[in-house]
Amino acid sequence: MDSTFWELMRSVDTPTVCNAIEVVQGKRGFSGFTKGTVLAAVPDLGAICGYARTARIAAAIAAKEPPEVVRARRMDYYRHMASGGSPRIAVVEDVDFPACVGAFWGEVNTTVHKGFGLEGTLTNGVMRDLGDLAEGFQVIAGSIGPSHAFVHVTQVGGAVEVFGLRVEDGDLVHADRHGAVVIPPDVIEHLATAIETMRKAENLILQPARQPGFDIEAFEIAWRAFEEART
């Protein structure tokens, strides 16, 4: 994709992308999105979009493997995050969910991942150090907490699940304060056109609704035009 595509993806919110995917598919029923409430470290930062670099972590109890194995896997994790196509998003499943206790995402890790060139992270785990996170790096997480507990990496790459959303390493992910979606490969090339089509159709309702004197009669006229534009 060229720079125009990425600029568009960062300019729209995730609900818009969800709707646009249904426009491309010509039906409702798309289910490749997170289910449940997420927390955004910087709610006004806007959307992030990129190729997923996946991993799993745990923190409730200490790792049972030898320390050298844990350290080696942690370094493999960082190598994985530093590689791959751009732009990239870290998608990290905390296997302790929903009782996550250890913050993997704070000042240090956000600064390191930003340095690697990642746009942000999507996790069902814990974040901390609010106010000291790397500037411009979005963290979309499940909770906020003070401790890292026994946090350690348990898996590098492969499929993960975050808030009911299955993400494979390399999937194209769009995320913001509403949650995240995985954009199906066959939809990508049609997404920009679908977003523009959807915007024009929605304006058939929005513009009249914002005018003085808007009433049910005006709504019925606008709604008919809206439905015709969608068919």
Asked whether residue 227 carries a pLDDT value surpassing 90, the answer given is no
Contact, 41 vs 141, CB < 8 A? yes
Gap between the Cα atoms of 66 and 46, Å rounded: 41
- Percent pLDDT > 70 in the chain is 99
Confidence of residue 67 (pLDDT cuts 50, 70, 90): very high
Asked whether residue 230 carries a pLDDT value surpassing 80, the answer given is no
Contact, 167 vs 92, CB < 8 A? no
Residue boundaries of the structural domains of the chain = 31-183, 190-230
Query: What is the per-residue pLDDT across 184-197, written as a single tens digit (0 to 9) for each?
Result: 999 999 999 999 99
Query: What is the per-residue pLDDT across 69-103, written as a single tens digit (0 to 9) for each?
Result: 999 999 999 999 999 999 999 999 999 999 999 99
CA dihedral over 175, 179, 185, 191, signed as positive or negative: negative
As a CATH number, domain 31-183 is 3.50.30.40
Question: What is the predicted pLDDT for the residue at 2?
Answer: 85
Confidence of residue 231 (pLDDT cuts 50, 70, 90): low
Query: What is the per-residue pLDDT across 107-156, written as a single tens digit (0 to 9) for each?
Result: 999 999 999 999 999 999 999 999 999 999 999 999 999 999 999 999 99
Average pLDDT, the chain: 96
What's the whole-number mean pLDDT along residues 208-224?
95
Gap between the Cα atoms of 34 and 38, Å rounded: 9
- The region, left, alpha or beta by phi > 0 then psi within -120 to 50, assigned to residue 153 is beta
